[in-house]
Amino acid sequence: MSNNRHITIFHGPQHPGITGNMSIELDLIGETIQRATTHVGYLHRGFEKLVERRTVIQAFTIVCRICVPEPDPNEINFAMAVEELAGLEVSDRATYIRTMVLELSRLAAQCLWLSGQSGSIGLYAVGQWAMADRDLILDLFEELTGGRVYHMYIYPGGVRRDLPEGFLDRVQKVLSHFKKRLKEYDDIFINNASFKARAKGVGVIDRDDCIKNGYVGQVVRGCGIEADVRRDRPYLIYDKLDFEIPTQDGGDVYARALVRRAEMDQSIYILEQLIADMPKGEIMTKIPTHRKFKLPKDDTWVSVESARGEFSYYMAGDGSEHIRRMQVRGPSLVHAFTLLEDMLVGAELSDVALIMNSLGICPPEIER
């Protein structure tokens, strides 16, 4: 220390290369990281505690706020857990609409990733394009749900509002735009020589650690493992849909980028199937008013595949109109601590933002 070879710096919490409010304490020799320690606590809002003091339906309105870039997996997990405990059935049309919302949400979240990942190496034009394209999906959400980011739409028992007239045509129009646009992203970002040079061989994950250590999403699929909740433990109507689980063998930042890019194609393909097959019918099951909505003394565990990997909820009822316990398990807790702290050792300082973006870490969901 005395010869000033070691320095300690904080990367974040206010830093463009941090995906939200968290910081990484880095011990460096020159540009090389010797030790990395993740620090959170900048946005602990106590959602899990708040949920326990509200009625079930009151709790529904806040769960979407747990993850800003991708709120809908929270809504669907909450709804599925409540429905399972309360024994509610959901209509076919509501199930299709839910699946459509989740795939649109996945596409929007991948745009946000594209923006962050390209920005992390200074390719800002890609980021601007991706944010503008994400806005097209947010326009659809605004029309359907009334909210651009937080939708509060996937209600226990169904969905809150039916599709507006001509909505599916407008979804198709946006998808057609994306089909053209994604080829341009390939040209300016995925096949960009500087991105390849920066991303290949960086942030490499050992395939053998992936499953055992609880890593999920593109981290696992980037190591060649076909892990996806939509296929492994299908929910909604994913067992009736035709889609592929893209994988890559590299295990590095570039492999994860290729997986994400291929997943955008798959989301479009899924959405087109949903548009073609959208059934008619009711969108909501009759449920008790919020003061009389009670959950039995029982518990469950539900999981969905978010744009960043497996996203799960534990929920326990106690016979009252309050939820006794709800725990959120997103991909970020393990990725930001178990994985990131190890992975950064030996990496260069300039690669921290690049690696962090590739793991899909969302700090709000760590602190809940």
Partner 1 sequence: MYSEIKNRFATSDVEVKRDDLAKVVVDRHRLFDLISMLGREYGYITLSAITCTDWIEDDHFVLSYMLVREDRKHNMMIQSMIGRDEPHIESLVGSFKQAQIMERDLHEMYGIDFVGNDNLVELSLENWIYTPPLRREFDTLEFVNNHLTFRDGRDDNMDVKKEMKRLRALKKAQKEAAKKAKEESSDVKQ
Binding site for partner 1 (CB under 8 A): 40-41, 44, 46, 48-50, 52-53, 84, 211-214, 227, 229, 232-233, 299-301, 303, 310, 312, 314, 316, 324-325, 327, 329, 333-334, 337-338, 366-367
HEC profile of 346-360: CCEHHHHHHHHHHCC
82-118 per-residue burial string, b: 16 or more CB within 10 A, e: under 16:
bbbbbebebbebbbbbbbbbbbbbbbbbbbbbbbbbb
> Coil, helix or strand for 304?
strand
Q: Closest distance between partner 1 and the C-beta of residue 23, in Å?
A: 13
Minimum CB distance to partner 1 smaller for 15 or for 233: 233
Cβ closer to partner 1: 81 or 271?
A: 81
Helix (H) or strand (E) holding 33: strand 32-39
Indicate the residue among 116 and 364 with the shorter CB distance to partner 1: 364
| Edge-to-edge strand list for the sheet holding 309-317 | 298-306, 309-317, 323-329
Q: How far apart are CA 139 and CA 155, in angstroms?
A: 20
In b/e form, how buried is each residue of 269-294, taking b as 16+ CB within 10 angstroms? ebbbbbbeebeeeebbbebeeeeebb
Is the Cβ of residue 111 or residue 227 nearer to partner 1 in the bound state?
A: 227
Distance CA 132, CA 84 (A): 38
Residues in the chain: 368
Nearest to 162 by CA among 212, 211, 93, 109: 93
Measure the CA–CA gap between 155 and 160, rounded to whole angstroms.
Answer: 6
Residue closer to partner 1 by CB (options 75, 310) is: 310
Residue 220 or 255: the one with the smaller Cβ distance to partner 1 is 220
Q: Nearer Cβ to partner 1, position 163 or 366?
A: 366
Give the amino acid at 59.
A
